Structure formats: structure tokens, C-alpha cells
Amino acid sequence: MKQLIACAVLAAIAGQAGAVIIDAPGSYIINSHVDQVLVDSSLDKSQVSIHVVSGGRVQNDVRCSSGNDSDCSFNLTVSGNGSVMGQARGADSLIELRDGAYVHNAGAQFNGGGKVTVRDNARLGTLTGAGSGINGTWEINGGTIHNVASSANGVRMIMNAGLVNDSISGWGLSLDLTGGELLGNVHSNALGFSLRMDGGRISGAVNAFDEALRGYITGGAIDGNLTTRGAGGGSFDIFGGQFGTGNANPLWWLGGSQVFNVHGRDLLLANGRLSGWLLDGSRLDVGINFGQGFNGAVNLHNVPEPGTLALIAVGLLGAFAARRKAQTAA
């Protein structure tokens, strides 16, 4: 059952002056101006769906009526030209921004699987999230995010398009990047750092402080330096991508027991520099700085050029034909 919430019917809804209190399961549509939306602590996202559509504007927050983010959860969709001028937060809530919507601050406690999705041309002022494990998800399929709170702990970020105009910093980050652009740095201090990058761009640096880096890169670009100096024994594979674009002397700073596997051709590590060609055809030329106590490895996996592979194939075929001829003659 969908319930229409508009200024004309506010008086019929239980709540404080200028506020809407949702205290019963249902699907609620907001298509006019309201002060705030408060969800009763007895309800969760399986029971409550809130839709702020074109013409809808929540002047302050969409949150739990108790004031404690962990007391309730909800499904919130902001679409069209709808807007939430305050915070939209609840434990494990599912928050989606699309079309030309605007939300000042969206996030969740992320203790059991909350998610914030941004797509189309939506705008988000600040993206926040906190939790003890990699449960919560940010999915960026378009739009613009202007700020990211530093408490991005235990968050998985999936980015296919769009723009994040800030750095991401926290513990236990997992970043899947296939498109879009991060204009700042990416930092993870502990609890593991997973990076899977098939496209997109990180305009700043990638830093795994006090933790090893795990995952792979097959494409995309990292403009800044890359640092990993943890003792976690992580293994990281590089098959492609561009490194240090616009950076006169890009540097990889390696420490701890980090293992780097670089796949390409004509790869050479000499005199503190790693150069060659990656499997996607990208040129690689970066400085390598091994930190004190480094006990990991940089493994170069060189493959022959296509022309060389063709010659090898011709040689093998010739040898096979000669062997067959000799067997026939015998």
C-alpha cells in the first residue's frame, strides 16, 4: 500500500510539528515539502519504503525517530528533482539516488548489509559509512559525490561511472573500479585493502598503510604513487593500466611482505626502476623503492611478443611434420 504524504495531509499524520513520523509498515511517497521524516524504531527496511519524488523536499533529516541510527532501517529512494537537505541515515538502510535528485548526506551503519547507490545525474553532498566488517556497499553508477567522510570503515565501493570529488580513507576498504573517476587519494590503514580495477581513474595516490594490498589491475589509470608497506603478506597482480599519468616520476613504495606480480613483455627491474609493457599494451615506467625490512617479492611474468609466438608455433608444426614423415618412412 502506498501512502501519499503532502503538506495538505500533514495534520492527519502522527508526528511533531513540521515532522512526519512513520510508525506503520508501508510505502510512502513524498511529493511536497516536509520538515523531516522520522521512522519508528520498531520498523526495518523490509517494512518501510520511502520515495521522495519530483516536487518532494525533506528540509532536514530522514532518520530513526529515536535519534539513534542503529534503531531502525528503511528503503529510501530519491528521484526526479526530489531532495533531502539533511541526513538520510539508518542502520543497514538501502538508499538510492537517481535522476536529478539531491541529498545532502547519505550513509548507514553498515553492520549487516546497508547500501547507498548513486546513479544518473544525482548529486550527493557527503557519503558516510561505518562498520566492523565489509558488509556495507556504496554503488556509484553515475552522478557526483562531493565529499566522503573519513569513517569509511568496512565498506565495499563499486564504481562503474560518475565522479567522486574527494579522497577515500578508512580501514578494511574494498574497491571495485570499472569506470568513473576518483579525484582524491585512496587510503586504507588496516584490516585489509582489496583493489580490483578494470577501468576508471584514480587521480591521486593509492596507499595501503600498515596493511598489504590484495587484488589486481587490468586497466584504468592511477595518476599518483602507489604505497604498500604492511605485513599482511598480500599478493597483487598487475596485467594492465596506466600509472603516473602527468606525474614526472611515479613511484611504487613497497614494504613488509607484499608480493607484486607484474605481467607483460620486456619487463625489467634494474637500478630502482621497473619498465616494460603490460599485457594490455600500456607502457610501464615507474620507480621502485624497497622499504627497510622488505621481505616480499616483485615477480616479473614476461610473455613472448605475438610475432615470437607465431615463429614458435611454425617451428613446432615443422618439427611435428618432420617427425610424422620419419615415422611414415619407417
How high is the pLDDT of residue 208? 86
Q: What angle do CA 64, 66, 69 make, to 5 degrees?
A: 50
How high is the pLDDT of residue 141? 96
Closest CA to 120 of 99, 89, 93, 97: 99
How high is the pLDDT of residue 310? 46
Give the SS3 label for residue 329. Answer: helix
Using the CB atoms, write b or e for 160-187: b if 16+ within 10 Å: bbbbbebbbbbbbbbbbbbbbbbebbbb
Closest CA to 103 of 81, 76, 75, 125: 125
Q: Say if residues 27 and 49 touch (Cβ distance below 8 Å).
A: yes
Q: Which residues of the chain have pLDDT under 50?
A: 1, 5-17, 308-314
Q: Say if residues 19 and 12 touch (Cβ distance below 8 Å).
A: no
d(CA 213, CA 193): 5
Q: How far is CA 141 from the centre of its chain?
A: 10
Tell me the C-alpha to C-alpha distance, in Å, between residue 13 and each of 19, 99, 257, 316, 325.
9, 29, 60, 82, 93
Task: Count Cα atoms within 13 angstroms, Cβ side, for 315.
Answer: 6
How high is the pLDDT of residue 318? 57
Q: Largest Cα–Cα distance in the chain?
A: 102
d(CA 21, CA 23): 6
pTM of the entire predicted model: 0.83
How high is the pLDDT of residue 188? 83
Closest CA to 237 of 260, 267, 266, 264: 260
* Cell of residue 47, nine digits: 517494512
d(CA 20, CA 34): 7
Chain length of the chain: 330
How high is the pLDDT of residue 17? 45
Instruction: Name the amino acid, one letter, at 221.
Output: A
β-strands 273-278, 259-270: how paired?
A: antiparallel
For residue 182, what are the contacts with CB-CB under 8 A and spacing of at least 6?
A: 159, 164, 167, 168, 200, 201, 202, 203, 204
Tell me the C-alpha to C-alpha distance, in Å, between residue 201 and each of 98, 120, 184, 223.
22, 19, 10, 8
How high is the pLDDT of residue 112? 62
CA torsion angle 161 185 108 2 (round to 10): -20
How high is the pLDDT of residue 308? 47
